[in-house]
Structures are given as structure tokens and as C-alpha cells.
Structure 1
Amino acid sequence: MTGTPKSAQAMVLAAGLGKRMRPITDNMPKPLVPVAGKPMLDHVLDKLAASGFDQAVVNCHYLGQMIVDHVATRAAPMVITSPEADLLETGGGVKKALPMLDRDAILIANADVFWTEGRDALFDRMISAFDPDHMDALLAIHPVADGYGYDGAGDFFWQVDGRLKRRGEAASAPYFFTGVQVLSPRLFENTPDGAFSLNVIYDKALACGRCYGLVHDGGYFHIGTPEAVSESEPVIAKALEIERSKQATSGGK
């Protein structure tokens, strides 16, 4: 590629420590743990490529050079790495990468999540649904009842107008956050320097009624431990078979 690369439209968060995935992550960062035949990070990057993203930022910290080396030869999307000498958490990691990212809206996905597509690709749906006139944040959410391996109490209530409300003091909420989102960079104004969580960003958007949700209509797999990897493999294989069948029937769309 010649000339100065344009700003990336997407970012993949790959700097976590992966402690729950030990001992696999003793010698490998969690985003490179293989699931369904390839590293989780590659599943996300391949989905970005399929949705037309030609460039993405990937941050890294724990065993970060392995991630830098792994993505070095990718062309679709071309990857710009954002190494973190000190772990900056999700919010700090995105803020550090802002100079490399689009000024209007950024699609962000965790590197260690796995999902199968619904009727349309999740990234396509997110980009189409994001309305900067009314939204500062659009979070992809999934029904708690249908999340394979998810055993939490849920994160959000999805209101009739599409806005999100946190679970708060409620015993449970019907939807959990998938780790896929579109954010306005202006949310990072007046945020802390150094490490902080993206929850700071969500709270800003929620407070002004500009945090919306989009319900993912495909499969979602929570893979947090070595046991979950092996237990989920046959279920994922079946889900991918169904996904490929649907794509073939619809002409690849």
C-alpha cells in the first residue's frame, strides 16, 4: 500500500490478560486461541473484511508481539497495531488509538468473542443502524436465554424506542452486551488519561439518552475458559454449518 493510510473505521480490542483461559494463555494471548479452526481474532477480522472494512486498528498488551506478528501480513483488512506498554483497559485503549481512527464513528469489537451471523451480517447491521443525529453509542446485545455458555444476570433492558437501560439494582436483565459496538469519538472528550473502562463512555451516552441497542439475531458463544473451548466446538461446528447453508441459499449475502 502506498501513500498515507486513511483513518481506520474499526478497532479490535485484543489487549486483555486472558486469566480465565489459563493454562492456554500462559504462552498465548487469548485472541489467538483457536476456535473452529482459527484464532478468535481472525474470526473478527475476517468478518470485518467481509463487511468491506479495509483497515482496522488492533491494540495489544499481554504477549503483544505475538499479535503484532500474527496480523503483520493481513491485507483485508490491513491492520495497524496499537501496542500498550501499560494495560489501558478498554476505554483507555480506544482513547490511545483515536488518532488512528475515524473521526465520525468507530466500530469496535472485542477480539475474544465468537458469534454466527443472523439474517444479515452483524457488522453490516450495526453500521446501517447507527444514527449519529440521535446516537452516541450503539451496542449489540443478545438475549440472555439464547447465549451459549453465558451464565450472567444480563446487562441491559432494551426499551421500546431502542434505548438501553442498565440492569442496575434489578436481579436480572434480559440482554447482555456482546462486545460489538459503534461509538462516537466525541464521547471520549473529558475522559481520564491512562486506564479506564468503556463503561465510563456508556454512562455518558446513557445519561443523555443517546445509548441504543441492536439485538443480534444470530448465535453467540461465551468462551471464557479452556473447558468452554472444547465444550463449545461441536455446537459451533453445527452453527457454522447452518450459517453456511443459509448463505448458500441466499446467494452468499
Structure 2
Amino acid sequence: MAKLASDTAMVMAAGLGKRMRPLTAATPKPLVRVAGRSLLDRTLDRLAEAGIARAVVNVHYLADAIEAHVAPRAAPRVTISDEREALLETGGGLVKADAAGLLPDPFFACNADSIWLDGPVGAFADLSAHWDAERMDALLLVVPHARAHNFDGAGDFYMDGAGRLRRKVAGRIAPFIFTGIQLVSRRLLRDAPPGKFSTNILWDRAIAEGRLFGTAFSGQWYEVGTPQHIAPTAQALQGG
């Protein structure tokens, strides 16, 4: 197994899952099932398969259900970052977990609803192979449109030959989509705003400093944002 840049991943599981309604009326989105297995279990399974020993899972909406669900897991070992009092969004969630001493440097981060099929190189091994702590505040796993299933947006980023990312220009299509998976230096979190905020704020600073990078994923990635995405994703996972 390839050596990884970190033994810890932060799994973002605190969102309200509004686009997945009505399925999320009584079930947190991470526990919605695709092909018989919850989105969160699929993510945690992939972490375990890659050799990542620890997962920090943040919780807010229907937090008790998520805590009870992950309690029996041994691989990866799960630590809860509790956001019951206030939903902090992606950036605030990372900062809270870091302030609690839960995150090493660097650490992986991924959305609890990320579903992917690895290509020749696994997602976490690929990020680790391209990681350069001297040059990078974060390394995002991005995917071209041809391998982004259920996705109908205009894309997120342009990437130069060195792997540096810049934002999509308004009115144009960007060739790469963020998969929800990244490798992050704690340097990205420095001087962060208090409370609730998006990681986009930190990414924009890193872009301005030339320190936000990407690597193109060689596998297949599936967006699972709405109930309509579940059936085609399940079909793909079951081999057709």
C-alpha cells in the first residue's frame, strides 16, 4: 500500500441536506442509502481501504443518529466534532476541529456524500504522491466533466501545467470539478474568520498566494446531491 501523506481524514457530515429532501426530513443525508449502503459508510469504507486510520466526523443535523451509526466502527477510528450548537459550514467546521486538536498537519478532508470509483491510482494515494508542503496550502482532487457523473454544472476550476488552480470565469465552462476530496495543510486555516464560513474564503486566499493546487482524478466520480441521483449511481456501483 502506498505511503499516505496523513493518517487522518475530516469527513464533513454536518450539513442539512436540503437538496436531498424529502429523504432527509427524518434522516441525515450522510445516512441516506445508495445501493444498500449509507453514503457515510461508503466514505468511511474507502478511508479504511486506503489505510487511513482516523476519521474526524462533524455533526449538526440529526447528530445523534450519525453518532450512534458510527459508534461501532473500528476502522477507521471515528472521533466526533460536535457542531450541535451552531452549524459552521465547511470552513468553520475545519477550524473547530483543528482548534480542538483533532487534526494533524496535513490532513485529508472529504464530503460525507463523496462517491467515487478509483482509477489506476487511489484517490488518497494520488493526493499523497502530488503533495508538496512547501508550495501548497491545499491540494484538491478534481475531475474532468467526462468522469463526473450526474453533474450538470459549468465546472469549478482551471488548472495550469504546474497544477495551480484558479476559479471559473463567469459565463464560461471550467474543465475541472471539485470532487469533495482534498489534502489540507493547517496553514490554510490560519487567521480564519470566526464562526460560520465556507472553505471558499480560505481557497481564495490560497489562490491569490499561488498555493491552491489540484490533481486530476483518473477514476469515476458521482455527484449524489438529489434523490434523482441515487438510482443511476447505484446502477454504476453495481456494475451496470
Band of TM-score, shorter chain: over 0.9
CA positional deviation for 1:170: 4.5
Partner of residue 92, structure 2? 92
Matches within 5 A, 1:167-182: 167-182=168-183
Structure 1 counterpart of 2:80: 81
| Matched residue SS, 2:105 | coil
Structure 1: which amino acid aligns with 2:16?
L
Q: Give the aligned partner of residue 119 of structure 2.
A: 118
Instruction: Give yes or no for contact 2:97–2:103 (8 Å, CA) kept in 1.
Output: no
Q: Aligned equivalents of 2:135 and 2:237: distance in 1?
A: 36
Question: Which amino acid in the other structure matches residue 92 of structure 1?
Answer: G
Deviation at 1:169, TM superposition (A): 2.5
Which residues of structure 1 form unaligned runs of 5+? 1-6, 240-253
> Is the 8 Å Cα contact of residues 140 and 181 (structure 2) preserved in structure 1?
yes
Map of 1:244 onto structure 2 = none
Match of 2:94, as an amino acid? Answer: V
Are the counterparts in 2 of residues 8 and 57 from structure 1 also a CA contact under 8 Å? no
Q: Which residue of 2 aligns with 1:251?
A: none
* Superposed CA offset, 1:66-125 (max 9, x none): 110011111111100112121100000010000333342110000012111100210111
**Separation in 2, partners of 1:12, 1:78:** 12
Q: How many residues align?
A: 233
Letter in 1 for 2:40: L
Q: Secondary structure at the match of 2:239?
A: helix
- In structure 2, the partner of 1:13 is 12
**8 Å contact 1:10–1:101 — kept in the other structure?**
no
SS in structure 1 at match of 2:236: helix
How far the C-alpha of 1:40 sits from its partner, in A, is 0.9
Give 3-state SS (helix, strand or coil) of 2:109's partner.
strand
SS at match of 2:136: coil
Alignment-derived partner of residue 166 in structure 1? 167
Q: Is the 8 A contact 1:141 1:215 kept in 2?
A: yes
Residues 119-148 of structure 1: per-residue CA shift (max 9 Å, x gap)? 021011112221101111100001123311
Q: Which whole-Å CA distance do the structure 2 matches of 1:114 and 1:103 have between them?
A: 24
* Larger proportion of helix: 1
2: CA distance, partners of 1:93 / 1:183: 14
Identity over aligned pairs, percent: 46
Cα distance between partner residues in 2 of 1:136 and 1:20:
30
Cα distance in 2 between the residues matched to 1:103 and 1:97: 10
Instruction: Name which one, 1 or 2, has greater alpha-carbon Rg.
Output: 1
2:11 match: secondary structure:
strand
Conserved 8 A contact 1:47-1:123: no
1:168, CA displacement in angstroms? 2.7
Which one-letter code corresponds to 2:92 in the other structure? Answer: G
Contact 2:147 2:219 in 1 (8 A): no
Answer yes or no: is 1:199 the counterpart of 2:200.
Answer: yes
**Deviation by residue 1:4-38 (Cα, 9 ceiling, x = unmatched):** xxx97211000010011111111111111111221
Q: Does structure 2 retain, via aligned residues, the 8 Å contact 1:145–1:174? A: no
TM-score by length of 1: 0.88
